[in-house]
Amino acid sequence: MAGNLVFVLQHEMGHAQVSERALPVLGARDEDAADVFATLSMLNMRSVMSERVLEQAAMGWFLAAKRDESAGNMLTFYEEHALDKQRAYQIVCLMVGADPEKFKRLADESKLPKSRRETCGGDYRNSSYAWEELLKPHRRAADAPKTKIDVIYGEATGKLGVYAQAARSMRLLENLAGAAAEDFTWKAPLSLEMRSCGQSGARWSPFMRKITLCYEMAADLADVYRKYGKGMKPVAEKRAR
């Protein structure tokens, strides 16, 4: 669940990057571009933790698709986001494109066809180059001041209180805020907030300059894993054995 929340926050940070710098998004939806930004950001960290975050994020999308299939929910092809399985496979493909050997087991267990794996390297290189070139002018120099990024944890009651406490303990927002301030320059201060919204979701508001992540999303993810994720283990754990 934590890995999924980190990915969602990075996804919204991708939206912030696009709107903040007025970046062009060619040949793809904004939502796809934000997913790619989140995936590349975690891959660039080159750590076991970041790899597990991506594996967990992909697993979360696969389980969400499984939930909808079990419930008989119709696929909504008109939505601004890609279908859950498509989002999962995009993460897996970019990981395989970055390192086919390291993530071979992930590709095997997610049943990514070999014919698709052969094109993942090109997808990764093209996406990585595009984002790097677009963001290069906005990288923070070592001696440049850091932009202030506020972190806010709203009050939560009932079962949502557990997720609020867990997020604080993990310093979920602080870690993202620190990385964003360290790596990039911003036009003005930003804020990251977790709060109770009344429904599951997350969004970037360019007018308020705020990323909001709802506690209900954590509860929703926990429910998905509890009902449909039994017996599943992160691939990174299997690699370590």
Token digits of residue 19: 């709107």
Token digits of residue 241: 């054995």
What are the pLDDT digits (tens) for 119-154? Answer: 999 999 999 999 999 999 999 999 999 999 999 999
Are 150 and 191 in contact, with CB atoms under 8 Å apart? yes
Are 123 and 93 in contact, with CB atoms under 8 Å apart? yes
- Global pTM reads 0.88
In this model, does residue 235 exceed pLDDT 70? no
What are the pLDDT digits (tens) for 19-65? Answer: 999 998 866 678 899 999 999 999 998 888 889 889 988 988 888 88
Rounded to whole angstroms, the Cα distance separating 90 from 130 reads 16
Rounded to whole angstroms, the Cα distance separating 100 from 116 reads 12
